[in-house]
Amino acid sequence: MSMQVSGSYRDCRNEFWERLQEGKDSTKAAGTERSAGDTSESIPFPKDEYISSEKSGAGPDGLYHMGKDENGNPKVLYNDPKKNEGADKHGQPKVGADNPKKYAENCTANTDKVDREIEKLKEQKQQLEQQIKAALDDEEKVKELEKKLSRIEAELSQKDNDTYRRQNAVIS
């Protein structure tokens, strides 16, 4: 891709340059002769200043730097200024620092209640199957027992899985 600049840089307006020129013109009009250093004091000139990390006294924050992982291999690390307020340079919390982050807690999930409920449904299913076998001569009773059996089987298929156990586990 190529670009062509039309016009010249003299056509661009630069307010800072205009203020600088006005400042020079006002000093000439006043008839005072100043040195070049004095004119820069009258009109502030923007400048950047480099401050080395040794002079600043603080390490780089919010920057990427090279470090080593737990195996000693080179790794790119990031210093997050928000994260490291209460931590040392390795990211570990300082001793005595009030850290709002909670540490990992030991939790146990108890599924005994769910397991008992499933066992109860399985026992009801077995009882209904035995009752159906015992009542072969009464068709109305067999149909009624088969309806109950189908409801219990549907409920059992819904509850006898890991997802249901996790959802209804008691966490302590």
- The predicted pLDDT at position 92 comes to 57
Residues of the chain with pLDDT > 70, as a percent, come to 59
List the single range of 65-69, 114-118, 154-158 with lowest mean pLDDT: 65-69
Cβ atoms of 1 and 13 closer than 8 Å? no
pLDDT tier at 150 (50, 70, 90 boundaries)?
very high
According to DSSP H, which parts of the chain are helical?
15-30, 36-42, 53-56, 112-134, 139-159, 162-167
Q: What's the rounded Cα separation, in Å, for the pair 27 and 20? A: 11
Question: Is 148 a domain residue?
Answer: yes
- The predicted pLDDT at position 101 comes to 60
Residue with tokens 């006898």: 160
Say if residue 154 is in the same domain as residue 125.
Answer: yes
Better-scored residue on pLDDT, 146 or 107: 146
- The predicted pLDDT at position 1 comes to 44
* Structural domain ending residue among the three candidates 67, 93, 119: 93
Question: Is 68 a domain residue?
Answer: yes
The one-letter amino acid code at 86 reads: G
Question: Is 151 a domain residue?
Answer: yes
Domain that holds residue 84: 59-93
Question: Is 3 a domain residue?
Answer: no
Cβ atoms of 118 and 156 closer than 8 Å? yes
β-pair partners for 94: none
- The predicted pLDDT at position 62 comes to 63
- The predicted pLDDT at position 16 comes to 73
Cβ atoms of 85 and 100 closer than 8 Å? no
Q: What's the rounded Cα separation, in Å, for the pair 95 and 87? A: 9
Residues of the chain with pLDDT > 90, as a percent, come to 24
Number of domains in the chain: 2
Q: Is the pLDDT of residue 32 over 80?
A: no
- The predicted pLDDT at position 80 comes to 73
Q: What's the rounded Cα separation, in Å, for the pair 89 and 72? A: 17
Q: Is the pLDDT of residue 48 over 90?
A: no
